[in-house]
Amino acid sequence: MKRIDMQSSWSQALVKMGVLGSIFVFTACAEKAPESDGLIAMVDGEVRKLSVEEEATICAEQFCEPNYIYTAQFGRPRPTPTPTPTPTITPTPKPTDEPLPSGDQRDYSRAKLGMDVAWKVTKGSREVLVAVIDTGVDYNHEDLKGNIAVNAAELGGKTGVDDDGNGYVDDVYGYDFSRNRGNGMDDNKHGTHCAGIIGAEANGKGIIGISPLVKILPVKFLTASGSGTTEAAIKSIKYAVDQGAQVLSLSWGGGGRSELLDQEIQRAIKKGVLVVAAAGNEAADNDRLPSYPANYAGVISVGSTDESDAKSSFSNYGPKSVFVSAPGSNILSTVPGGKYEKLSGTSMATPQVSGALALALALDGKTSADVLKSRLCDTSDKILLSRFGCGRMSVGKLIEGLK
């Protein structure tokens, strides 16, 4: 199969979809192909970026595609309706060195999701592994470090040696595919914020994650600027699945449709891994204008709601393609350096769902992914159904229904 021309391939795809005018897939538009960094292909069983010299020969014989650039979704929220007042103490919106007064003081999302009901049944299990595939995770954060997956063989091994023989050197705390080195430390903040929503500890400090007992695997492929390539994303997903992750949390998007990335995601899904992805932040209809990776088959695509249980103004939607919604406006969570901050985006809604699935897996790790997805849908609050297929997630109802 010959090399794919980026611009013509993108245009042809639009013609097939019958789309005219502007199209937003995070940051892409119809007049311009999604940004990419060269071409990638499967070479000797591994996806990798091709050199300019290789492109002419390899792409003449086999499938090649653009090495699309994906970005962390911080979101660009527009003004939202006046939120319903809540009795909780409102923390400072900017990063702070001081922890919140108590780990039991939670933002509005915990009440919306029925966490008090869910936590009476389970607070999770450290046997459940969730991979945060993002900008990395600050694994030294006081609200996260007890829940970070640690590779004991590498921790007690020799520096510069692949002690456990998994093909990755010094991956004590996950791996950094943006630099091809061990440990997925966050140099942005996006991944740490997502990790806190999933699994901040119930330690009386800062916040409490949806699943306060869990193991979080930091997998970094997005750089400090919040961008990363398809090649690195594919390697990150393969690594996470090989390490035994049961849930993949993907709070990023912006590239075009990638056959090679889709293949890797489908391999994960066939192994029973739950893949959760952000729907996007351009207030666009994903049923009409697909957004990736959220629109790949089998992926649990997540939209965002606000304090009033309305669709967040920035959130993408689509009752056929966006599986469920969760609170994503003004969510308080961890950021690097032992700090806390409020952020908004479908990026923040996605780890709410990832954490809920981790909590559900703690009840019975043998429950199939299909059953969990079905229960997640059935137990969601039936609101906003014209925007999100299953409504707005209810963790309390999900866990009550599974116990």
- Non-local (6+) Cβ contacts of 26 within 8 A are 71, 73, 253, 254, 280, 281, 282, 291
Integer CA distances (angstroms), 101 to 48, 89, 98, 206, 332, in order: 48, 9, 9, 7, 14
With tokens 């999900």, the residue in question is 398
User: Sign (positive/negative) of CA torsion 347, 348, 353, 355?
Assistant: positive
- Which tokens hold the place of 106? 């939670």
Does 347 participate in catalysis according to the annotation? yes
What DSSP assignment string belongs to 90-119? PPPSS--SSPPS-TT---HHHHHTTHHHHH
3 state DSSP class of 313: coil
- Strand-by-strand arrangement of the 247-250 sheet: 181-182, 175-176, 213-220, 124-134, 247-250, 274-278, 300-305, 324-327
3 state DSSP class of 148: strand
CA distance 40 to 228: 14
From the candidates 186, 190, 227, 325, give the one annotated as an active-site residue: 190
Locate the DSSP E strands across 136-241.
175-176, 181-182, 213-220, 227-229
Does 190 participate in catalysis according to the annotation? yes
From the candidates 344, 347, 380, 394, give the one annotated as an active-site residue: 347
User: Sign (positive/negative) of CA torsion 186, 187, 188, 189?
Assistant: positive
CA distance 90 to 86: 9
From the candidates 107, 109, 134, 143, give the one annotated as an active-site residue: 134
- Which tokens hold the place of 56? 């002419």
Does 162 participate in catalysis according to the annotation? no
Q: Which residues are catalytic?
A: 134, 190, 347
